[in-house]
Amino acid sequence: MKNNFTVLKSNIRDIKSGKNCTIIEPSNLYECELGDNVFVGPFVEITKGAKIGDNTRVSSHSFICSLVTIGKNCFIGHGVMFTNDLFKNGEIINDINNFFPTIIENDVIIGSNSTILPVNICSGAVIGAGSVVTKDIKIKGTYAGNPAKLLRKL
């Protein structure tokens, strides 16, 4: 019987990385940038054009797509998903020119299994596990829920 499938192995290619980065395989990282002392756990995908700042830790099973910039000293929990398409017209967009950027400033903590839509999150914010961030976060504080709401200022 003939196999009718293609096997693609994990891939780390064409990345720019600072000093002392650690990438645990299997992971897919391509055409992205990692600052100094970045840790990337297993089963993570970081795609073309994404940028991860110095001393940031990305835990296992997370997905960081194009146009996502994560600042310095951040923690991204397990299974955090970023998206750059809002599917406004009910269609999948395959053109990066129609995607939206996400900016995560410095010292941000994002709890496990959170979903981050194209937003800006200010420095020092804490996003609780399982949250869905649908709007910009402009005040340093703890946020949680679906959609994520301010629980308390920090």
* 46 assigned to some structural domain: yes
Q: What angle do CA 49, 51, 55 make, to 5 degrees?
A: 160
* 142 assigned to some structural domain: yes
Q: Which domain holds residue 52?
A: 12-86+95-153
CA distance 34 to 18: 6
CA distance 42 to 100: 26
- pLDDT, tens digit, for every residue of 79-101? 999 999 877 777 777 778 888 99
* 4 assigned to some structural domain: no
**Cβ partners under 8 Å of residue 95, min gap 6:** none
Q: What is the pLDDT of residue 1?
A: 59
* 132 assigned to some structural domain: yes
Question: pTM above the 0.75 mark?
Answer: yes
Q: Into how many domains does the chain fold? A: 1
CATH of the domain at 34: 2.160.10.10
Q: Which two tokens stand for residue 83?
A: 């998206």
